[in-house]
Amino acid sequence: MVEHQLRARGIRDERVLRVMGELPREKFIGPVYREEAYEDRPVPIGAGQTISQPYVVALMSEALKVEPHHRVLEIGAGSGYQTAILAKLAKEVFAIERIAELAERASKVLSELGIDNVQLRIGDGTLGWPEQAPFDRILCAAAAPDVPEAWIEQLADNGRIVMPIGGPEMQNLFLITKQGDKITHENLGGVRFVKLIGKQGWEE
C-alpha cells in the first residue's frame, strides 16, 4: 500500500508514510469488508459511512503538516483510522463523531492499539470543540458547503484546516490557512466524501 498507492503517487512526508505503514488498517474495518482493507478505494464502515481510500487519507494527512507538539481537532472520526494517524503525528487529538455506534467502535479500536492521546466525543462537530480551542490543525473527512465559522474561530494563528468543500455529490479538497485576520484557500483537487451533517453543515 505505501509503495504502490502512496509513494508512487507523490506522497513524500516520511512521518505520514511511516505511520500508515505501521498502523493495522484492517482493525478499523468490520469483518465483512476486512479483506478489502488495503484496496485502492473507499470501504464501508457501517451506518452508511465509508473510510476513505488510503491515498486520500495520506494526501489529507500530508497537507495538514502536523507537528509533534500540535493539538488537532478532527471532525468525522468514523472508524477511527484517520484519528489514529493524527494521534501518532500530533501531541493530542480531539475527535468528534455524530454517530454513536461508530464512535464507540473507534474508541475501542484506539484503546486496543494503545493509543491514549485521543479524546473522542459524540456530537455535532460543525460547532467545533470550544472548551478545547484553539487548535493548531483541523481535519474533516465529511463534505460541507463551506468552512464552518466555528472552526475558523477555533483555529490558532498560523493554523491549517484540511476538508472537502462543495455540493453533496462532488467536492474539492481544500487547504485553508489562517494568518492573523487573513484566511486563504488552496484547492487540492476533486474528491467525493459523505456529507457533513449539522448546524453549520448540511441538514439531515
Applying CB under 6 A, which residues contact ligand SAH?
Answer: 45, 49-52, 75-76, 78-79, 81-82, 96-99, 102, 124-126, 141-142, 194, 196-198, 201
> By the 8 A CB rule, do 165 and 174 touch?
yes
Cα maximum dimension of the chain: 48
Select which of 52, 61, 79, 107 is catalytic.
Answer: 52
Annotation marks residue 107 as catalytic: no
Edge-to-edge strands, sheet with 118-122: 118-122, 92-97, 71-75, 135-140, 155-166, 171-179, 182-191
Task: Return the amino acid letter for 127.
Answer: L
Determine the Cα–Cα distance for residues 109 and 71; give it in Å rounded to an integer.
21
Compute CA 3 distance to the chain's CA centroid, rounded to the nearest angstrom: 22
* Residue 157 or 170 having the CB closest to ligand SAH: 170
Smallest distance from ligand SAH to CB 55, Å: 13
CB 125, min distance to ligand SAH, A: 3
The label of the residue with cell 503538516 reads 65
Q: How many CB atoms are closer than 10 A to CB 72?
A: 26
Nine-digit cell at 4? 504502490
Nearer to ligand SAH, 130 or 184 (CB): 130
If the CB atoms of residues 49 and 107 are measured against ligand SAH, the closer one turns out to be: 49
CB of 179 to ligand SAH, least distance (A): 27
Shortest spacing between CB 101 and ligand SAH, in angstroms? 10
Q: Which is nearer to ligand SAH, 50 or 154 (CB)?
A: 50
List, by residue number, the catalytic residues: 52
